[in-house]
C-alpha cells in the first residue's frame, strides 16, 4: 500500500472532551484499522472518526498505520493544548492553521528518498520509535523546503527550519534535536555528504525529576484490578522495573522460573538483559499462565497470538489509579521510576540498579538520588543548629 496516502489529524472539543479526528480520502477504507484504537468513535454530525487527544492515542495511530499511510500531524503539533479550537457539531468547521504554517505534501522524488531512508533505518535495526521520529522529522524538513531538491539544501536551510517552523509552532527542544539528528543521518547516508551539524546551536536540555509513587500508592494501584491478567501486567512492570514495550514484547519462554530470572530481549539500544524474579511474582505468573495459556506473547489481546495493545494497557492503569483514589497523572513509566527509587532507598547499589534498568550510562541512573526520600531526609538542615 502507498505509504503517502495522507491521514490528516485535527484537534477538537467533543462533548467537553479533547479529541483527535482522523480524515482520509474516500477512495481508501481504513475503518477496520481505526476500530482497533481504544475509545475510537464515529460522529455522524462531523462525519469522521475520533479518539482521545493523548500521547497514547498518537503512538497507537502511528503504529497501526505504519507502512500503510502517511500521518499528517501538521494541524495538531504546536497548538496551545490548554485552549484547543472548538468544533461546532451542528456544522462542520475545519481547524486550520495559517497558510504559511501548512506544509505541502512530499514531492514524488522526496517521498522516494524518505522510503529509502526508512529501509536503511530498518535494515540497521533502529527501534520503531526512532524510525517513526526520524521519518516524521526529515519529512517535515523536506516538506518545508519543498522548492529545493535535497542536493541544494545547506546548513542554512536547517537553521531557517528551526527558526521559522519549530520555534514558531512551539515544538519542544527534544523534537528539535530529533530533527537535527534525522537531517544529519539522512544526508550522510542517502546524499553521501555531511551537514555541518556542529555549527547549529542545539537547544539546552531540559532536566526533569522522575515522578515517584510511595509504596502504599503502588500497593493500592496493583491491588485495584479485578482481572488477573491486568493485575499481573501492572505488578510485573513494578516488580522488574520494565518499560511498557519490554512487558508487551515478553514471550512465555523468557520466564525462567527455576532460576528465578526473566530475560528481556533486544530492548532500548538493542540490548538483552536479565532481571531477577521474586517468588511472589513467580507464583502470580504461574497462576496467570494456568488461567490464560498464552501462545505467542506472554500477554495477549482478545485474539490468541495477538500482542496486547499498548493503549489498552495504559487504560488498565488509568482505571486502577482511579479505583485506588490517587489523583495524580500516573503513567506506566511512573512504576518503573518508583521501582528504581525504592531499590535505592532499600540500600541497593546504584551500579546494580543501572544494570537492572538497562541504562547505558550511570548518569541516567543517578537521577534517582535526587528523589530518594531516604537520602533527602538524612540531610540535616543548618536551621536545627541555631
Please list the active-site residues: 243, 268, 333, 336, 359, 368
Give the DSSP letter string of 178-198: HHHHHHHHHHHHTS-----GG
How is residue 283 written as a grid cell?
507464583
3-state secondary structure of 157: helix
In sequence order, the 6+-apart residues with CB closer than 8 A to the CB of 382 are none
CA distance 276 to 264: 11
How is residue 35 written as a grid cell?
476500530
Sheet with strand 6-14: strands edge to edge:
41-43, 48-52, 17-23, 6-14, 70-72
Nearest CA-CA partner of 106 in 158, 144, 162, 151? 144
Tell me the C-alpha to C-alpha distance, in Å, between residue 25 and each of 4, 10, 77, 264, 339.
12, 15, 21, 41, 46
- What is the sign, positive or negative, of the torsion defined by CA atoms of 319, 324, 327, 328? negative
* Pair 158, 141: CB distance under 8 Å: yes
In sequence order, the 6+-apart residues with CB closer than 8 A to the CB of 132 are 62, 66
Other beta carbons within 10 Å of 124: 10
Nearest CA-CA partner of 151 in 102, 186, 198? 186
Q: How many angstroms separate the most distant Cα atoms in the chain?
A: 78
* Pair 376, 344: CB distance under 8 Å: no
**φ and ψ at 71, to 5 degrees?**
-90, 115
How is residue 196 written as a grid cell?
555541518
CA distance 137 to 141: 6
- Parallel, antiparallel or unpaired: strands 6-14 and 70-72: parallel
- Which residues on adjacent β-strands are paired with residue 273? 264
3-state secondary structure of 323: helix
Amino acid at each position: 500500500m502507498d505509504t503517502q496516502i495522507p491521514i490528516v489529524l485535527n484537534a477538537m472539543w467533543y462533548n467537553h472532551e479533547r479529541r483527535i479526528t482522523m480524515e482520509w480520502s474516500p477512495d481508501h477504507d481504513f475503518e477496520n484499522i481505526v476500530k482497533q484504537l481504544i475509545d475510537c468513535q464515529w460522529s455522524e454530525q462531523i462525519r469522521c472518526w475520533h479518539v482521545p487527544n493523548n500521547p497514547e492515542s498518537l503512538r497507537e495511530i502511528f503504529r497501526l498505520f505504519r507502512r500503510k499511510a502517511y500521518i499528517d500531524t501538521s494541524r495538531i503539533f504546536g497548538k496551545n493544548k490548554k485552549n484547543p479550537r472548538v468544533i461546532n457539531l451542528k456544522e462542520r468547521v475545519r481547524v486550520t492553521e495559517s497558510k504559511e504554517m501548512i506544509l505541502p505534501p512530499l514531492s514524488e522524488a522526496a517521498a522516494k528518498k524518505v522510503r529509502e531512508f526508512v529501509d536503511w533505518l530498518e535494515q540497521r535495526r533502529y527501534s520503531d520509535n526512532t524510525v517513526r521520529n526520524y521519518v516524521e522529522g526529515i519529512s517535515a524538513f523536506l516538506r518545508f523546503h519543498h522548492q529545493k531538491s535535497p542536493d541544494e539544501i545547506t546548513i542554512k536551510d536547517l537553521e531557517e527550519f528551526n527558526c521559522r517552523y519549530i520555534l514558531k509552532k512551539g515544538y519542544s527542544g527534544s523534537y528539535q534535536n530529533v530533527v537535527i539528528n534525522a537531517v544529519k543521518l539522512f544526508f550522510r547516508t542517502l546524499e553521501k555528504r555531511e551537514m555541518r551539524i556542529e555549527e547549529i546551536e542545539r537547544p539546552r536540555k531540559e532536566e526533569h525529576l522522575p515522578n515517584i509513587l510511595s509504596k502504599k500508592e503502588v500497593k493500592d494501584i496493583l491491588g485495584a484490578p479485578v482481572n488477573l491478567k491486568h493485575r499481573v501486567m501492572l505488578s510485573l512492570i513494578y516488580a522488574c522495573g520494565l518499560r511498557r514495550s519490554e512487558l508487551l514484547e515478553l514471550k512465555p519462554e523468557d520466564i525462567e522460573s527455576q532460576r528465578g530470572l526473566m530475560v528481556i530481549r533486544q530492548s532500548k539500544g538493542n540490548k538483552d538483559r536479565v532481571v531477577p524474579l521474586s517468588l511472589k511474582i513467580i507464583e502470580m505468573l504461574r497462576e496467570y499462565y494456568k488461567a490464560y495459556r498464552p501462545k505467542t506473547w506472554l500477554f495477549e489481546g482478545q485474539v490468541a497470538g495477538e500482542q496486547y495493545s499498548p493503549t489498552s494497557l495504559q487504560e488498565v492503569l488509568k482505571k486502577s489509579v482511579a479505583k485506588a483514589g490517587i489523583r495524580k497523572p500516573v503513567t506506566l513509566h511512573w512504576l518503573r521510576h518508583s521501582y528504581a527509587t525504592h531499590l535505592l532507598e532499600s540500600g541497593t547499589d546504584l551500579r546494580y540498579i543501572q544494570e537492572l534498568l538497562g541504562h547505558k550510562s550511570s548518569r541516567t541512573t543517578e537521577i534517582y538520588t535526587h528523589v530518594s526520600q531516604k537520602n533527602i531526609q538524612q540531610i540535616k538542615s543548618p536551621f536545627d543548629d541555631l
